[in-house]
Amino acid sequence: MLTLDVDGMTCMGCVRSVKAALEKADPSAKVEIDLASGRVEIEGAIAAPAARQAIEAAGFDVRG
């Protein structure tokens, strides 16, 4: 499981955008997002650099 901390998510629309971007990058991924903490957990074959790129392309910042 890959866990990333994401800045800039302020609403459920943001959550949907991040989830859609990750599922587009890895259609078999299972994505869980906690809006309050900004934590994104991804279970799938996607590597951290590809996940980071997908999230940033959706307009959000990945911490760390």
- Let me know: does 54 contact 24? Beta carbons within 8 Å: yes
Q: Tens of pLDDT along 5-52? A: 999 999 999 999 999 999 999 999 999 999 999 999 999 999 999 999
- Identify the CATH assignment for 2-63 out of 3.30.70.100, 2.40.50.100, 3.30.1310.10, 3.40.640.10: 3.30.70.100
pTM of the model: 0.92
CA distances 35 to 6, 10, 23, 45, Å, are 9, 7, 17, 23
Strands (E), 1-64: 2-7, 30-34, 39-43, 61-63
3-class DSSP assignment, residue 20? helix
- Let me know: does 51 contact 30? Beta carbons within 8 Å: no
Q: Is the pLDDT of residue 64 over 80?
A: no
Sorted by where each begins, the domain ranges of the chain are 2-63
